[in-house]
Amino acid sequence: MELANAKLRIEQLTTLLKDHNYRYYVLAEPAISDFEFDQLLNELTHLEAQFPQFISPDSPTQKVGGNVSDGFITVKHQRPMLSLANTYNEQELRDFDERIRKSTGLADIEYVCELKIDGLAISLFFENGKLVQAITRGDGIQGDDVTTNVKTIRSLKHQLSGNFPQKFEMRGEIFMHRKGFEKLNDMRRANNEAEYANPRNVASGSLKIKDPNEVAKRPLDIYLYYLLEDEGLFATHSESLNAAASWGIKIAETSKVCNGIDSVLAFLNVWDAKRHDLSFDTDGVVIKVNNKNLQEELGFTAKTPRWAIAYKFQTETATTTLLDIKYQVGRTGAITPVAELQPVAILGTTVKRASLHNANEMERLDIRIGDMVFVEKGGEIIPKIVGIDYTQRPENSEPQAYISHCPECNTKLIRNEGEAQHYCPNDLLCPPQVVGKLEHFVGRKAMDIQSIGSEMAETLYKNNLVNSPADFYDLTFEQLIALDRMGEKSANNIIEGIQISKNQPFERVLFAIGIRYVGETVAKKLVAAFLTIHNLMNASIEEMLKVDEIGERIAQTVHQHFQNPRNLQEIERLKSANLQFEAQKIEKASYVLEGKIFVISGVFENHSRDELKDLVENNGGKMASGVTSKTNYLIAGSGVGPSKLEKAQQLGVVFLSEDELLQMIQTS
């Protein structure tokens, strides 16, 4: 290969591989298979071996540094790495909140809740956007310099982008996903080596390996959760993390700003239940005061910050007798079997009920009335049955058949193929489903009618005033004031809240209607794609499938929803009540690209593909996915797909670089 070509190809491969690394590790959206990735990496390795003069220091092949260090150098931390105070229950958390409110004199504190990842703490130093040093926590005062090893972590960018401070420190946690851990153990078992105990141990052991090539084989990952810089650039912790993310630093997406301690407790409950679905282990939640000035005001004790605390999830198991099995019906008609238990104390509370999840779980356990069951409760979540002491099974016990009819409305239950849950299909009349739908409709993320809470929704239903969302809009002051314990002020508030909700945008209305599988995100995608309820109602399944993130199951359910005359009637009534059923028009920056069709391919230096797509669309142009005779321009980056390239050349499509596209918009 010629020198110039080799240089070009090495540059292309470097950009491409970096982009794929970023997609894989940071976005968790790989665009190519591992095999394809390895082939590209091989090609680059070979080329670099032939033309070492073109190896860039931050080449993806160089992530494993060659300099094997003998032992690790101990470095003193610029600021000590403290630990966190721990709590295991709600009361201690409330005490923490009260202390802060008292000492600051504020009524409500804004917190950031972050999952506490079970790994090992690390301190990273960046200079001019480059990682220059990584130090372990050590004893908190000094730690080991493990920079070379840390650089092998693929989700760590070696060069940041955007508007980063010239010098800063960032702390975070290095950990291993459970899958990677299991793979590693599979290999060890195959080699007759002792298995590792848990992902945390492997992660911490891996950083101490002397040979970075070995470290690179360990699938380590990192989340950063604490930015330290001297200029006071950010007013809040959450802002600093968002900024870091914009520079390409990996932060946890699960973090949340919570206003007040009740909102914090809600976060804990959600994650206590959901944490087992994560790809990594978490042992609790870290709660931090968001405002940086407040943090400073609160300061530190010798060991821990006063503005943060760790809440640890905990579990405790007890044994008790199963008295009965009841069935609950949710908003969507999903049936949940619930075990009624001989009351037993776990973690200081009395447990009388536990979830049995679904028919499969009941079958798996072969659970029977009178069984001695193991009940587990972690933190605040609903307890669950984790096993049965079969040795104590009463002699005359009988297997439990799952119910065939709805316990609330006696409709025959259905179970869709491939689904674990049974459903009651009587969505329009089954009481808990109707009330559930009303509650969902007025909910915060839906129509956000704050004057109607869950209780009020139920009262309105029981008094036969509201049976479907459209009925809310026919409510009168006279009807409300006639209700028990209803004051004039509350009645007015309700009427006003309902009126105001008419301004909620179409995507909220679509979410509020409560079509199964249409969550907030799906609602947004559908609105962006179809713009009006008319278009959406008339869309075919095929048309819906073309929309990003809309799969077979969603498309079919949405389509079906609009075939049902009762649903159509409901929408007509909501329309007459003047709810929003059209997307709000977004003002475009310009219309200079009007009538032009663009296709984009390859990787770009200064913009992401999504940014370039937005740019085209915001200036009146249209994006298409494949090159056809209608295509006007191909925006081509490095590594353009060969088929697109060939077709575009054949059809005489004009090629544009990202700069040329920008020029086109600016000079028109």
Amino acid (one-letter) located at 342: Q
Of residues 19 and 281, the one with the C-beta less far from ligand IVH:
281
Is residue 305 within 8 A of residue 295, CB to CB? The reply is yes
How many residues of this chain interact with ligand IVH, rule: CB under 6 A? 15
> Does position 199 bind ligand IVH by CB under 6 A?
no
> Does position 384 bind ligand IVH by CB under 6 A?
no
Output the smallest distance, CB 171 to ligand IVH, in A: 7
Of residues 226 and 472, the one with the C-beta less far from ligand IVH:
226
Of residues 293 and 576, the one with the C-beta less far from ligand IVH:
293
Output the smallest distance, CB 175 to ligand IVH, in A: 9
Output the smallest distance, CB 81 to ligand IVH, in A: 6
Of residues 10 and 117, the one with the C-beta less far from ligand IVH:
117
Helix (H) or strand (E) holding 613: helix 609-618
Is residue 40 within 8 A of residue 59, CB to CB? The reply is no
| CA atoms of 109 and 131, how far apart (whole Å) | 34
Of residues 123 and 619, the one with the C-beta less far from ligand IVH:
123
> Does position 8 bind ligand IVH by CB under 6 A?
no
Output the smallest distance, CB 293 to ligand IVH, in A: 16
**Pick from 415, 166, 115, 436: nearest CA to 288:** 115
Output the smallest distance, CB 122 to ligand IVH, in A: 8
Q: Which of 40, 55, 84, 597 binds ligand IVH (CB under 6 A)?
A: 84
Output the smallest distance, CB 176 to ligand IVH, in A: 14
Cα angle, residue 398 at apex, residues 394 and 403 outer, rounded to 5°: 135
Output the smallest distance, CB 304 to ligand IVH, in A: 7
> Does position 225 bind ligand IVH by CB under 6 A?
yes
Given the residues 7, 116, 312, 613, the one annotated as active site? 116
Q: Which of 32, 41, 55, 82 binds ligand IVH (CB under 6 A)?
A: 82
Kindly tell me the burial class for residue 447, based on how many C-beta atoms sit within 10 Å of its own C-beta (0-12, 13-18, 19 or more). Answer: buried
Span from 79-87, 147-155, 192-200, 214-222 in contact with ligand IVH (CB under 6 A): 79-87
Of residues 210 and 303, the one with the C-beta less far from ligand IVH:
303
Which residues are within 8 A (CB) of 611 and not within 5 positions of it... i.e. 6 or more apart? none
Span from 76-84, 177-185, 196-204, 520-528 in contact with ligand IVH (CB under 6 A): 76-84
> Does position 318 bind ligand IVH by CB under 6 A?
no
**Pick from 126, 128, 137: nearest CA to 173:** 137
| CA atoms of 46 and 44, how far apart (whole Å) | 5
Angle, helices 506-513 vs 565-576, to 10°: value is: 140
DSSP class of 172: E
Output the smallest distance, CB 125 to ligand IVH, in A: 17
Of residues 121 and 627, the one with the C-beta less far from ligand IVH:
121
Integer CA distances (angstroms), 103 to 97, 259, 301, in order: 10, 18, 15
> Does position 257 bind ligand IVH by CB under 6 A?
no
Of residues 60 and 119, the one with the C-beta less far from ligand IVH:
119
> Does position 249 bind ligand IVH by CB under 6 A?
no
> Does position 173 bind ligand IVH by CB under 6 A?
yes
Of residues 237 and 609, the one with the C-beta less far from ligand IVH:
237
Of residues 314 and 479, the one with the C-beta less far from ligand IVH:
314
Of residues 44 and 308, the one with the C-beta less far from ligand IVH:
308
> Does position 169 bind ligand IVH by CB under 6 A?
no
Output the smallest distance, CB 123 to ligand IVH, in A: 10
Integer CA distances (angstroms), 116 to 84, 169, 224, 252, 271, in order: 11, 20, 11, 10, 11
Establish whether 116 is a catalytic residue.
yes
Span from 36-44, 111-119, 199-207, 314-322 in contact with ligand IVH (CB under 6 A): 111-119
Of residues 83 and 649, the one with the C-beta less far from ligand IVH:
83
> Does position 600 bind ligand IVH by CB under 6 A?
no
**Pick from 438, 510, 432: nearest CA to 471:** 438
Is residue 499 within 8 A of residue 477, CB to CB? The reply is no
> Does position 113 bind ligand IVH by CB under 6 A?
no
| CA atoms of 48 and 11, how far apart (whole Å) | 11
Output the smallest distance, CB 448 to ligand IVH, in A: 30
> Does position 121 bind ligand IVH by CB under 6 A?
yes
Long-range contacts of 82-86 (CB under 8 A, 24+ apart): 82/140, 82/300, 82/303, 82/304, 82/305, 83/140, 83/303, 83/304, 84/286, 84/304, 84/305, 84/308, 84/309, 84/310, 85/304, 85/308, 85/309, 85/310, 86/284, 86/309, 86/310, 86/311, 86/312
Helix (H) or strand (E) holding 632: none
Q: Which of 10, 109, 113, 117 binds ligand IVH (CB under 6 A)?
A: 117
Is residue 94 within 8 A of residue 249, CB to CB? The reply is no
| CA atoms of 74 and 76, how far apart (whole Å) | 7
Could you say which residues in the range 466-495 bind ligand IVH, by CB under 6 A?
A: none
Amino acid (one-letter) located at 285: V
DSSP string, 94-115: HHHHHHHHHHHT-SS-EEEEEE
Beta bridge partners of 319: 374
> Does position 83 bind ligand IVH by CB under 6 A?
yes
Kindly tell me the burial class for residue 601, based on how many C-beta atoms sit within 10 Å of its own C-beta (0-12, 13-18, 19 or more). Answer: buried
| CA atoms of 520 and 517, how far apart (whole Å) | 10
SS3 annotation, 53-97: HHCCCCCHHHHCCCCCCCCCCEEECCCCCCCCCEECCHHHHHHHH
> Does position 116 bind ligand IVH by CB under 6 A?
yes
Q: Which of 114, 221, 408, 439 binds ligand IVH (CB under 6 A)?
A: 114
Binding mask 293-312 for ligand IVH (x = CB under 6 A): ------------x--x-x--
> Does position 226 bind ligand IVH by CB under 6 A?
yes
Output the smallest distance, CB 154 to ligand IVH, in A: 20
> Does position 286 bind ligand IVH by CB under 6 A?
yes
> Does position 458 bind ligand IVH by CB under 6 A?
no
| CA atoms of 248 and 227, how far apart (whole Å) | 14
Span from 19-27, 112-120, 351-359, 378-386 in contact with ligand IVH (CB under 6 A): 112-120
> Does position 160 bind ligand IVH by CB under 6 A?
no
> Does position 532 bind ligand IVH by CB under 6 A?
no
Output the smallest distance, CB 510 to ligand IVH, in A: 35
Could you say which residues in the range 621-650 bind ligand IVH, by CB under 6 A?
A: none
The binding site for ligand IVH (CB under 6 A) comprises 82-84, 114, 116-117, 121, 137, 173, 225-226, 286, 305, 308, 310
Q: Point out the residues that are catalytic.
A: 116
